[in-house]
Amino acid sequence: MSDRIAVFHQGSCRQTGTPEQIYNQPADAFVASFIGETNLLSATVEEVNPGGLLVRSLGHRFRVEQRREEVGLFSPGEKVWISIRPEGVERVSDSGENTLSAELTLVQFMGFSFHCTAWVEEEVLIRALFVNRPDLTAELRTGEKVVFRLPADRIRLLPGGDRSA
């Protein structure tokens, strides 16, 4: 792997940076999808506060921590993408802040990890990756209802938010 990457789309440079920057801080939905797997949820910004933002997606409100480089980028009413990598999704026992109920449609045991795909409200597929632990074997089964949490510090907001883009 190179120490610097440039991601191009249709002849236009979308982002340059280190592999870590490109993966962890994608500039837009194309870059986030091109480098690794990500979950993209269309959302609308509801509130912008000094410490973070509140966005609405799938009828739920999500708190998102605002990074220094993001201050001033988003405004109330703006369409955005919620981007979260599968390894950032957490499985929790109860609904609460930043949670979504889902039904597991695919559970793949990969030895070191479980790769899961789940329908959220029969609208959006969410991918999650969990490190293998003995207690997960019995809990992660296709058809099971689960609650996923999208931690505020693992969500990245990206410009856009329109499925047709």
Q: What is the pLDDT of residue 71?
A: 66
Would you list the domain boundaries of the chain?
Answer: 1-36, 37-159
- pTM, entire model: 0.89
Rounded distance between C-alpha atoms, residue 124 and residue 129, angstroms: 17
| pLDDT tens digit sequence for 39-69 | 999 999 999 987 789 999 999 999 999 776 6
Give every CB contact of residue 48 below 8 A, 6+ residues apart in sequence.
66, 74, 75, 76
Class of domain 37-159: mainly beta
Q: What is the pLDDT of residue 72?
A: 79
